[in-house]
Amino acid sequence: MVFVRRQGRLADPLLDLRLFANRAFSTALGSLRFGTMLMGAIHRCHAAACSQVFGNSGTGVWIRSESVFGFGRNPQSSSTQCT
């Protein structure tokens, strides 16, 4: 909150908060956030479906979802990954 107040008072702020008053900017930002969350949900559902097909436990779902996003990917163990 201190950062936001300080940026509002500066003559040359790091983040121009007046951008958020612009309806087009706010809509674009909201759309990007919604799209990102939607893609995350789709990847999570895909990972859950793959986990169910391969008979993994609930922890396998998290491991699969991490591999979908590219975190912790191990190319040696890709034989059971649903692609």
Mind listing the pLDDT tens digit for each residue in 5-59? 888 888 888 888 888 899 999 999 999 999 999 998 888 887 777 777 777 655 5
> Which residues touch 47 (CB under 8 Å, ≥6 apart)?
61, 62, 64, 65, 67, 68
Question: How far apart are alpha carbons 39 and 29 in whole angstroms?
Answer: 15
Question: How far apart are alpha carbons 49 and 51 in whole angstroms?
Answer: 5
* DSSP 3-state of 1: coil
CA atoms within 13 A on the CB side of 21: 4
Q: pTM to 2 decimals?
A: 0.54
Question: How far apart are alpha carbons 20 and 8 in whole angstroms?
Answer: 12
